[in-house]
Amino acid sequence: MLKELVTPQNANVFVGKLGDILYKAIDKPLGMAIDWGRMWSLWPVHIETACCSVEFGAASGPRYDVERFGIIEAFGSLRQCDLVVVQGTITRKMAPRLRLVYDQMPDPKYVIAMGACAITGGLYFDSYNVLPGIDGILPVDVYVPGCPPRPETLIQGCMLLQEKIKRMKAR
Amino acid sequence: MSSTDSKSDTSKEKPAPPKPAAEKPAPPKPAAEKPAPPKPEETLPAFEKELTDRIVNQFSGDAEVGYVKENRTRINVKKEKILDVAKFIKDQTPFDHAESVSGVDFPEDNEIEVVYHLGSYTDNRYSKQVLALSTRAPREDVPNPGNDSTKLPSLRDVFYSVEFHERECFEMLGVHFEGHPDNRRLLLPEDWADLPPLRKDFKNKGR
Amino acid sequence: MTEQIPTDQTKELPPGLQLEKVDDRIMTLNVGPQHPGSGHMRIIVRIDGDYIVDADPDPGYVHRGEEKMAEVRNYLLNIPHLERPVIHDSCNILYPYVLGVEDLVGIEVPERAKYVRVIAAELNRCVYTQYWLAIYGIFLGHSTMFMWPAGDRELMIDLLEKMTGARVTHSYFIPGGVRNDIPANFEDVCLRQVNYFEKRIKEYADIFYDNPILKARTEDTGVLSSQDAIRLGTTGSVLRASGIDYDVRVKEPYDVYEELDVHTNVLKDGDSYARSKIPWLDMLESCNIIRQALEKMPKSGSVRTKLKPNPKGVGNDEVYRRVESGRGAAGMHIISNGKPEPYRVKISPGSFRNLIALPYLLKGEKLGNMPAVYWSLNYWPVEADR
Ligand code: SF4
């Protein structure tokens, strides 16, 4: 009977439902543990979009060392990542690519908008080729203001994100 | 891939080109051969004046001196003659590369100006000099880049280094360079359908 | 290889994903813009087996329209955004603009301000080069070479922060001098840190430049002969690594470089190794220049000529100024027409001029050598795109 119900066409629906049930069962007792795991191993995608990437690089350097807060240096492939740090200006040429990168990442995924440019367009508010902020293309979790933000500010933004993850329900 | 492999393979595939000929001995120290003339008013710097005169006399009627300042000179050329003048400069003077190509829009004159800034690496006396070679193309109010009268001959065959600069000028001002092998977009997004952005009638939003 | 592509008829590909009809052996590969080895640009390479037959750089992912923006802001308001193309070399990229405006308006700069500017520019060159070196280390899979320069450059950033108040975006140079004077005991601190910094970067030779693995990866890759370096109009470290002795600081000295003893580093080989070594040698030279400038600097005096409100404004004029930035000669062509805003500002940065060498050098190279060749061109995508 199960064979008739589950055809190759709808098999993934059932798998998904099963997953949901599993999540529900796990959420109560293990949600904390899952969140804790996500909090301390955020993998940022290696995507540089503008000059804020200099300060991002400085933040992973020895003096500021974001790694001690659980933000791993941006080295991995984007299929293993769960954090996009949008490092500055998004131009009209870059915007579709950024969305493409975001779409390819597995859930759950978080977005940090770094720098005035990523938040509102910043200095380039009236330029013809710059998006006025990335809210139109990505759901942003944390905004980190500054032009460029100091590494300390970025670290604080990352810690805010961790706080947010801690209070989220594990999905 | 081991790195030693890659090294030996490459050297097999692509033998290193012969070392630069000795015809360009790198001068050891910057020599102040050209004493900068003290700048009294009225008198033009002699070295620069002689340089521009040499070029302008060759093409009398088609080229004129824009300005002569210390270390900076400018020659305005009619667009039909720009290729000849550039060839003359390349062959007869030590200028060997273009540093920058700036396009400037002049809607009042209905013209677009393209300025090539030429410099010299080979001749020590000329290393301070920058020669601006400028020419003008007609401008159309409704541009159709590539298919209207805003065209200029490309200098890419004379000064190879203008290749990307001319591509940039094409997309930013709509000046089509005839003879350029690769008149494509460079910096703007692929779907740009507005006016070329550096034209004066293109306005930034909110300005 | 397969003769037909079976999906060609059955399935419509979305636009932008057309299968190109190319020779069976040739494969097209997109490197970037999301790629650890490309930065904010895309390189479309065609490879035959392991060898690159054609490379087509596709910059413009950070094109922000600086030149258009410069036309709607007045001369002083242009300063903050014109330094954004290279925020970690902001003094040097702003330098030609400031010099050009000074030429246009005709103001004199106090002697002390000239020295302060030279010190700031040289410190900034170190900051830039260290960042570049750190990324070069990453590109070659040499993680220690990321950590060392990224740590050491903070020393120079500290000094610049003391001078200007900002970590990277200084907006320190203004027409007529610099924005504010340097703090009281700056000279001693600067001298001490520069000496320590020099000692540190000399150690890079052991770990990086004398490293046999690095040499194997970079020597004889991407060789640029001196004729080609001239023909392609390259500049900065690319040019000097090919044996041409040209440095704007020496050949056309601006501010007080004339009074300082600046040595031009030239190497003959023209390969990636030489290109990666020149910026490092330049950093050592920068330490020398800073020490000289600290010594010769007038100990007191004004650092800024106040701009008089000039009823005449900036006349009908144009000026082309250039300086030696971290990536080579950076030129600015400023045209004024008597309005408060410039009529046209054209930036001709070193990165954009060196980009033309990339397709030329990659041809015939192995794909694995691409990062080594690409980043050795001293290329900063944001600057090239403006
Ligand atoms: S916020 Fe400032 S530093 Fe960051 S990308 Fe924008 S202009 Fe550059």
Token digits for A51? Answer: 């000059």
Residue A149 CB less than 6 A away from ligand 1: no
Residue A115 CB less than 6 A away from ligand 1: yes
- List the CATH number of the domain containing B148: 3.30.460.80
Residue A147 CB less than 6 A away from ligand 1: yes
- Supply the pLDDT for residue B21: 41
For residue B185, list chain C residues with Cβ-Cβ distance below 8 A: 60
ipTM of the complex: 0.82
- Supply the pLDDT for residue B134: 87
Task: Please tell me if residue C63 touches chain A, with a CB cutoff of 8 Å.
Answer: yes
- Choice from C64, C66, C87 to test ligand 1 binding pocket (greatest atom count within 8 A of CB): C87
- Supply the pLDDT for residue C19: 52
Task: Please tell me if residue B96 touches chain C, with a CB cutoff of 8 Å.
Answer: yes
Q: Do C333 and B102 touch (CB under 8 A)?
A: yes
**Which residues of chain C register pLDDT less than 50?**
1-10
Please give the residue range of the domain that contains residue C232: 78-307
pLDDT at B8 over 50: no
Quote the CA–CA distance of C183 and C168 in Å, as a whole number: 18
Please give the residue range of the domain that contains residue B58: 46-178
Strand segments, DSSP code E, in chain A are 83-87, 110-114, 142-144
Task: Please tell me if residue B195 touches chain C, with a CB cutoff of 8 Å.
Answer: no
Residue B107 in any domain: the answer is yes
Tell me the CA–centroid distance for residue B93 and ligand 1, in Å: 43
pLDDT at B9 over 80: no
- Supply the pLDDT for residue B23: 43
Report yes or no: C86 and A114 within 8 Å, Cβ to Cβ.
Answer: no
How confident is residue B6, by pLDDT bands cut at 50, 70 and 90? very low
Q: Which of A90, A123, A128 to mutate to test the interface with B (most CBs of B within 10 A)?
A: A128
Which chains contact B through at least 3 pairs of Cβ atoms less than 8 Å apart? A, C
**Which residues of chain A register pLDDT less than 70?**
1-2, 28, 74-76, 169-171
A 123-152: CB under 8 A from C: 123-124, 126-130, 147-148, 150
Residue B106 in any domain: the answer is yes
Q: Where are the domains of chain A?
A: 53-167
Q: Which CATH number fits domain A53-167: 3.40.50.2030, 3.40.190.10, 3.40.50.300, 3.40.50.12280?
A: 3.40.50.12280
* Residue bearing the CA closest to ligand 1, atom 6: A117
Q: Do A126 and B202 touch (CB under 8 A)?
A: no
Q: Do C369 and B30 touch (CB under 8 A)?
A: no
**Which chain B residue has the Cα nearest residue A91?**
B189
Q: Which of A52, A54, A90 to mutate to test the interface with C (most CBs of C within 10 A)?
A: A54
Q: Do A128 and B206 touch (CB under 8 A)?
A: no
Beta bridge partners of B132: B74, B117
Task: Please tell me if residue B190 touches chain A, with a CB cutoff of 8 Å.
Answer: yes
Beta bridge partners of C337: C316
- List the CATH number of the domain containing C129: 1.10.645.10
Residue A33 CB less than 6 A away from ligand 1: no
Report yes or no: B153 and B85 within 8 Å, Cβ to Cβ.
Answer: no
pLDDT at B65 over 60: yes
**Which chain C residue has the Cα nearest residue B126?**
C251
Phi (first) and psi of residue A110, to 5 degrees: -125, 155
Q: Helices B82-92 and B46-58, interaxial angle, to 10°?
A: 130
Q: Do C135 and A91 touch (CB under 8 A)?
A: no
Closest chain C C-alpha to B147 CA, distance in angstroms? 24
Q: Do A62 and C81 touch (CB under 8 A)?
A: no
Number of domains chain B contains: 1
pLDDT at B19 over 60: no
Residue C352 in any domain: the answer is no
Residues contacting A21, CB < 8 A, separation 6+: none
B149-159 core/surface letters (b: 16 or more CB in 10 A; e: else): ebbbbbbbebb
Task: Please tell me if residue A68 touches chain B, with a CB cutoff of 8 Å.
Answer: no
- Supply the pLDDT for residue C257: 86
Residue B167 in any domain: the answer is yes
- Going A36 to A41 to A47 to A51, the CA torsion angle's sign is positive
Residue A51 CB less than 6 A away from ligand 1: yes
Residue B98 in any domain: the answer is yes
* Biggest CA-to-CA distance, chain A: 64
Closest chain C C-alpha to A15 CA, distance in angstroms? 28
- Supply the pLDDT for residue B199: 84
Digit-coded pLDDT (tens) for C280-337: 898 898 898 998 888 888 888 778 877 776 655 677 788 888 888 888 888 888 888 8
CB pairs under 8 A between A and B: 19
For residue A128, list chain B residues with Cβ-Cβ distance below 8 A: 194, 197, 202, 204-205
Q: Which of A45, A46, A48, A101 to mutate to test the interface with C (most CBs of C within 10 A)?
A: A48
For residue A55, list chain C residues with Cβ-Cβ distance below 8 A: 167-168
Task: Please tell me if residue B205 touches chain A, with a CB cutoff of 8 Å.
Answer: yes
**Which chain C residue has the Cα nearest residue A127?**
C65
For residue B194, list chain A residues with Cβ-Cβ distance below 8 A: 128
Number of domains chain C contains: 1
* Residue bearing the CA closest to ligand 1, atom 2: A147
Residue C351: closest CA among C383, C321, C322, C324: C383
Which pTM value belongs to this model? 0.83
Q: Where are the alpha helices (DSSP H) in chain C?
A: 7-10, 66-70, 78-82, 90-105, 111-139, 144-164, 186-202, 204, 212-218, 226-231, 237-241, 248-251, 272-296, 350-354, 357-362, 370-376, 381-385
Residue B70 in any domain: the answer is yes
- Residue C314, Cβ density class (10 Å: 0-12 exposed, 13-18 middle, ≥19 buried): buried
Closest chain C C-alpha to B138 CA, distance in angstroms? 19
For B35, how many CA atoms within 13 A lie in the half-sphere containing its CB?
Answer: 2
Residue A50 is nearest to which of C65, C72, C382, comparing CB atoms? C382
Residue C383 in any domain: the answer is no
Token digits for C299? Answer: 């100990």
Task: Please tell me if residue B132 touches chain C, with a CB cutoff of 8 Å.
Answer: yes
Quote the CA–CA distance of C320 and C318 in Å, as a whole number: 7
Report yes or no: B98 and B155 within 8 Å, Cβ to Cβ.
Answer: yes
Closest chain B C-alpha to C244 CA, distance in angstroms? 6
- Supply the pLDDT for residue A2: 67
Q: Do A128 and B207 touch (CB under 8 A)?
A: no
Residue B1 in any domain: the answer is no
Digit-coded pLDDT (tens) for B32-47: 444 444 444 556 677 7
- Supply the pLDDT for residue C8: 44
Beta bridge partners of B152: B177
- Gyration radius (Cα) of chain C, Å: 23
Closest chain A C-alpha to C83 CA, distance in angstroms? 11
Quote the CA–CA distance of A96 and A92 in Å, as a whole number: 8
- Choice from A48, A98, A112, A117 to test ligand 1 binding pocket (greatest atom count within 8 A of CB): A117
- Supply the pLDDT for residue B170: 87
